[in-house]
Amino acid sequence: MAYVVTGVDSGSLSRPASAPGVAWDLMVDPLLITADGQWWRLVTGAFVHLDPGHLLMNMLLIGLIGRELERAYGTLTMVASMLFCAVGGGLAVVWLQPDSVVGGASAIGYGMFAMLVGLSLERRTDIRAPIVLIVVNLAYSATAGGVSLPGHLGGLAAGAVVAVVLTAVRRRRATSSPWSSTDPR
């Protein structure tokens, strides 16, 4: 929906952030965040996409990985995690790429990569596939033009924090359950 709104506002569904307007008012802009206190941009930047391919890749990534994570953690936890990853990516841009204005949900996708590794470790399943996803996508981020490596790294770091917290919470619940196997019999 945000893509359509920004596209209609800019007059271009193929490049909605190509002209000043709603898209630019929502993107992660480090100068406006720090100088004018527009901290909400850390979240809204995840809703702005630069072209249909950008939107499609991010939605595909989030849709595929997010389904597995949502089954494991629940919808509310995933919504909160996605917001946290968006903020993590935005903060990394503010800190490491202060002269850039960025948008897109890829910080959320990278956060989900880290959460998938955490879930795999928790379940004691093979972590090679999520690790390969991370390595391949980071290599792309480091070599492709017009891609925010700091935003991706910030989302990845935020997702790692989420994974550690979720694993700790789930372990605590499992050991404090009256049905846990702490009975010595």
- Its domain, for residue 98, covers 50-176
* 106-123 and 75-96 helices, crossing angle to 10°: 120
Task: Measure CA 170 to chain center.
Answer: 22
DSSP state for residue 184 in the 8-state scheme: -
Whole-structure pTM over 0.85, yes or no? yes
Structure tokens at 93: 């841009």
Inside any domain, residue 38: no
Inside any domain, residue 54: yes
Torsion, Cα 80 85 87 93, to 10 degrees, reads -170
- Tally of structural domains, the chain: 1
- Arithmetic mean of pLDDT over the chain: 92
Return per-residue pLDDT of the chain as tens, 185 residues.
888 888 888 888 888 888 888 889 999 999 999 999 999 999 999 999 989 999 999 999 999 999 999 999 999 999 999 999 999 999 999 999 999 999 999 999 999 999 999 999 999 999 999 999 999 999 999 998 889 999 999 999 999 999 999 999 988 988 876 665 554 44
Cα separation of 69 and 36, whole Å? 36
pLDDT in tens, 133-157: 999 999 999 998 889 999 999 999 9
pLDDT value, residue 9: 85
Report DSSP letters for 109-144, one per residue: HHHHHHHHHHHHHHHT---HHHHHHHHHHHHHHHHS
